[in-house]
Amino acid sequence: MGTCKQFLKNNKLFLLFILLMSVFRSAVADWYTVPTGSMKPTIQEGDRIVVNKMAYDLKIPFSQVSLIRLNKPQRGDIVVFESSAANNRLIKRMIGLPGDVIEMKNEKVYINGKALNYAITSQNAANLFATEQIDGLSHLIRINKKASNQMSSFAPMTVPQGYYLVLGDNRRDSADSRFYGFVPHHELKGKATAIAFSLDYDDYYLPRKSRFFKNIYSI
């Protein structure tokens, strides 16, 4: 017991720093490593993503309990959420807000009956790349030609109140609302804002210097 008290006395500033850092990462901002390619080409495996945890709610640290609703998610936001349906933390793009009717026909997304601006920009033997514009925000999507096109269409669905519809930018290789259903608001962890740094898993984990400190919405 005496040894424990002595340790606490000698290290109280360090322990206070650890506590404050933990609270900060829990309630204010954090960073996550992206392990899959479901958001390619916007986000790649090995990217370390900065997440603003106060983008939508002020939450009690170390919990999902919201004290104050700060902002509403916007279409086009890249969000991190703890999916109970997937039993995993996921990162996807916000497409449908509460009350929206969302439909997809041959890769093209329709919101409330209006098609998003969609234009093919390039392609190779394996993939097709297109620019999609949602509420004034343009981003690239990737379509794997070798993947099943069963992911390319779905019938109109209305997003319930308190829920959201999300999709991955890697449209045929993303487990998103097409698999796990709508995302409840309380599962949102925050809004991804930037790439802090990136490691190339296919090249001995060497840094991808061109992706350091990149605004995730200008890639």
Q: Which pLDDT belongs to residue 8?
A: 59
Q: Which pLDDT belongs to residue 22?
A: 86
pLDDT tens column, 120-169: 999 999 999 999 999 999 999 999 999 999 999 999 999 999 999 999 99
User: In the structure encoding, which two tokens stand for residue 157, read together?
Assistant: 């669905």
Read out DSSP for 29-70?
EEEEE--S-TTTTTS-TTEEEEEETTSSEEE-TTS--EEEE-
3-state secondary structure of 103: strand
Length of the chain: 219
- Residues assigned a catalytic role: 38, 92
Question: Which has the higher per-residue pLDDT, 64 or 185?
Answer: 185
pTM of the model: 0.92
Fold topology of 29-215: Umud Fragment, subunit A (2.10.109)
pLDDT tens column, 52-70: 999 999 999 988 899 999 9
Count CA atoms within 13 Å of residue 121 on its CB side. Answer: 14
